[in-house]
Structure 1
Amino acid sequence: MKKIVITQSNYIPWKGYFDAIALADEFVIYDDMQFTRRDWRNRNVIKTPAGSKWLTIPVEVKGKFFQKINETKISDANWNKDHWNVIKQNYSKANHFKEYKDFFEELYLNSKSVYLTEINYQFINAICEILDIKTDIRFSSEFDLKEERSERLLDICLQLEGTDYYSGPAAKAYMNERVFKDANIGIHYFDYSGYPVYKQMHEPFEHGVSIVDLLFNTGSDAKKMFKFLNEK
């Protein structure tokens, strides 16, 4: 059995994203898809005393032009310093902030790429190291793919010799499951319910915030807060 997960890159994603990486034998960042505004590609949520706050990487968007994620460029070179200052301001008193302060400070201040994809990968890869996730990460641009969406996903699975494809629950709305069944590839949808609650600095509790919230609040116990990471 070889499990394949294919999803678009996100900026400092939530724990479910890393759980999907942990489950996979091969994780493919689907970055030759269209960049979408007001989405997870270039932003995520942290907790603050005043409530949830979006951290957004400013990017260049060329009107209605079909712009791929891996073509999207950063529009403000100081975004990394700004984000790190906001994170320090809101998490400096978290129980485990000191454990990760130097790691994240170096990560942010060295994030100087002009491409969003490269920045997202840099953060995803670094956080996988913290969580001891060793899954191979690939990019969809490495593959020669067909045009229809489900067939593109199937092509990746076939080229990686995958037996099972895993996707988020929202994919049910557009997935052509028949092409996977015809190719004898099992298709599965993640169930993100049932994650344990941990102590956050500010109420009310929210599951769907950036992974940095989990790390700064729980430290090495963060690994206990996953579902699939603990199955390996």
Structure 2
Amino acid sequence: MKKIAILQSNYIPWKGYFDMINLVDEFILFDEVQFTKRDWRNRNQIKTDKGLEWLTIPCNTKSKYNQSIDQTTVSNCKWREKHLSSLRTHYTKAPFYNEIYPQIEALYRTCTSQYISEINHHFITHLCSMMDINTPITNSRDYPSKGHKSQKLLEICQGANAHIYISGPAAKCYLDEMLFNKNRIEVSWMTYDHYPTYPQCYPEFFHHVSILDLLFNVGTKEAIQHLSKKSHLSSITI
């Protein structure tokens, strides 16, 4: 029973994103859809002694309001050094800083693309490798589809020979579950209310920060233990 997830790429995503990747047999990046400003595509948060801080990649969006994620480019190449500086400043006292920082620095140094989608793919795949998550990561454009919204997602599932489609809870407001039901593809919903806490450098504890926070604080070997198990999925019956 092949399980897949289809999701837009995010920049250095939170642990829930990697949780989903770890639960499926194929993870499909859905970057042919519209780029949205002030979203997770080009930014994420880290913990600091003054609260949460955004790490944002500046993008060219002023002239193209309908551009897709995979068409969106970087507007200033200085973002890499700025983000590395923030990570050094706020995580230098983290328990696994000496183990993690050289690997993260190498990811930034080898990230040369000007496209947000390719940058996100670069970080996601390498961060998965650091945590021994071996799920194949593919692209929705590998599965041509003519439909829109739920129909498009269904056609991608069919192209990938999926039996189970795992989706985040936010999609419940628009996903046509009956359409998947009629085509004998089971829909399972992720839940994100079960994660254990871990020692963070600064109070108060906050779950929804970049996976980098988890890696700096617990290391690569223990990080996978902070992701969920299959029991944290809810399904509809087909």
Runs of 4+ with deviation above 6 angstroms: none
Query: In the TM superposition, what are the counterparts of 1:1-232 in structure 2 within 5 Å?
Result: 1-63=1-63, 65-219=65-219, 220-228=221-229
Distance 2:22 2:152 in 1: 23
Distance 1:228 1:70 in 2: 31
1:229 deviates by: 8.5
RMSD across aligned positions (CA): 1.4
Distance 1:229 1:100 in 2: 28
Runs of at least 5 residues in structure 2 that lack an aligned partner in the other structure? 233-238
Q: Indicate if the aligned counterparts of 1:19 and 1:229 stay in contact, CA closer than 8 A.
A: no
Q: Indicate if the aligned counterparts of 1:81 and 1:109 stay in contact, CA closer than 8 A.
A: no
Give me the identity figure in percent: 45
1:230 deviates by: 11
Number of residue pairs matched?
A: 231
Matched residue of 2:166: which SS? strand
Which one-letter code corresponds to 2:23 in the other structure?
A: L
1:48 deviates by: 0.3
Distance 1:215 1:221 in 2: 8
Matched residue of 2:181: which SS? helix
Runs of at least 5 residues in structure 1 that lack an aligned partner in the other structure? none
TM-score (norm 1): 0.96
Matched residue of 2:213: which SS? helix
TM-score (norm 2): 0.94
Cα 1:153–1:227 change in 2 (3 A) is same
Q: Deviations over 1:133-180 (max 9, x none)?
A: 111111112221123200111011101110010100010000011110
Q: Indicate if the aligned counterparts of 1:3 and 1:26 stay in contact, CA closer than 8 A.
A: yes
Matched residue of 1:11: which SS? coil
Distance 1:230 1:23 in 2: 11
Cα 1:171–1:230 change in 2 (3 A) is closer
Matched residue of 1:45: which SS? strand
Matched residue of 2:18: which SS? helix
Distance 1:3 1:147 in 2: 21
Distance 1:141 1:197 in 2: 37
Cα 1:85–1:212 change in 2 (3 A) is same
Distance 2:64 2:178 in 1: 32
Matched residue of 1:81: which SS? helix
Cα 1:230–1:164 change in 2 (3 A) is closer
Q: Indicate if the aligned counterparts of 2:143 and 2:160 stay in contact, CA closer than 8 A.
A: no
Q: Deviations over 1:103-156 (max 9, x none)?
A: 111111221211001100000000000110111111112221123200111011
Distance 2:165 2:129 in 1: 24
